[in-house]
Amino acid sequence: MAFCHTCGSELAPGSMVCPTCHTSVTQTGASGWGPPVPSPDAKTSGLAVASLILGILFLIFPAAILAIILGHISRSQIRDSAGRIKGAGMALAGLILGYAGVAVIPILIIAAIAIPNLLRSKMVANGAAAVGSLRTLHVAATTYYSVYDHGYPPALENLGPPAAGKENEERANLIDSTLAGGRKSGYLFLYRAVRLQNGTVPVGYTINADPAVDGSTGMRHFFLDQTGVIRSEMYRPATANSPPLE
């Protein structure tokens, strides 16, 4: 049994026109339900095409909304055209993409707010870790100075653990291997031994701790010498003249 796709009235076998709403039913599907099958000369709905294009651009908020609106309008027109207009599939695709865009956009907005805050929190944490590492280095360098008769360590690696055997002035085992390598928690540590003119024994040292990627792994730069005072700058290398860390 067949029914009119427009008003739902029962159709007599072989009917060409609905007796109730007078809609042409020659192009309806075999069951009489659903949209009509497009005729060979049916035109593609411009609104359906526009809905699909806007749906593809669903990451742009207005495009997603327009894709939904045009998709519903075009599907309604196609349904009422009795097969004279086609493009229902494109309209449906536009609707799906449009609704996907509406669902994704709030997530993107939240991410746009949250990611910079997370990055800033990470940089602050890295900066705090760098300060802790500098304090560890000061204690290690001071211990090295008091234990060995060679002044302060000539290089940062002299404070690290030995490859084998007992610790000595070459590898004093006062800091971990990561810090002895000069890179830790997103910061690079540059150690310089300070010697008197024509002297061989280091009488002091300086350490610059700088972000590995400025503005990404950190935003504060630090400076330390044998006095134990940590100095800092924002977005530029610190020196002995920089303000002390508060």
* Structural domain spans, the chain: 1-34, 133-234
Longest Cα pair distance anywhere in the chain, in angstroms?
A: 114
Angle at the Cα of 17 (from 73 to 33), degrees rounded to 5? 50
Pairing label, strands 183-184, 187-195: antiparallel
pLDDT for 230-241, tens place per residue? 999 998 999 999
pLDDT for 131-170, tens place per residue? 999 999 999 999 999 999 889 999 999 999 998 889 999 9
Would you give the distance in Å from CA 92 to the centre of its chain? 31
Instruction: List all residues 6 or more positions away from 19 whose beta carbon is below 8 Å from its beta carbon.
Output: 9, 11, 12
Instruction: List all residues 6 or more positions away from 25 whose beta carbon is below 8 Å from its beta carbon.
Output: 2, 4, 5, 11, 15, 16, 17, 18, 32, 82
For residue 118, give Cα distances in angstroms to 113, 114, 233.
9, 6, 22
Bridge partners, 153 (sequence order): none
Q: What is this structure's pTM?
A: 0.59
